[in-house]
Chain A
């Protein structure tokens, strides 16, 4: 069965520093991979997605992610974090019948 692991429950980054959120997936076929962001009490906003092609994917708000098949990873990166980036980040894999399986999420805290 497909699964997603986000090993970091929470991460604290200083404003202006770089960020990398880890995501590992388990899926038998070529995965569809997503990163979503959720602010408190809100729904999910899509940051970026990978379906095929270039393994480095650019998203909104300056985020990017790199698909590494050999490592079954899809880590999210941002070169310079802003205080407004503080939120919960979810990695997800598209499973059969277009269902999404989510990781447990990583809470990003941004320190001044």
Chain B
């Protein structure tokens, strides 16, 4: 149980285009999901907290107009990277909260912007 999926697992796009990444909790409902970014050989940095039915809460320094988050249902949150640039290339990981203070992580999405 407590499985989280992400789609796609990897994506390559041209600079200036937008990319949508989906995060799904497969066997549980999650009112809260989180989006992280991980650079090569570095740790995970929290980008935003996604709450079902309300606006996401972004961490300091994260551009909310560039990283659009939608949490339209209890099992799906999406992250859209708008007008992507090469510096947005990274590994994006989502997690879903099942119980207080316990998160289950998706397998990650590798984004490469050319």
Interface residues of A (CB under 8 A from B): 32, 36, 41-46, 49, 51, 90, 94, 97-105
Contact = CB atoms under 8 A, between A and B. Distances in A.
Report whether over half of chain B's contact residues are helix, strand or loop; otherwise say mixed: strand
Given A41-B110, A43-B106, A94-B101, A99 B49 contact: yes
Nearest to A31: B101
B104 A98 contact: no
> 4 closest pairs, A vs B, by CB?
A44-B105, A43-B107, A43-B105, A94-B101
Contacts of A100: 34, 44, 46, 95, 103
Interface residues of B, number: 25
Contacts of B43: 90, 102-105
A98 B42 contact: no
Contacts of B105: 36, 43-45
Nearest to B2: A46
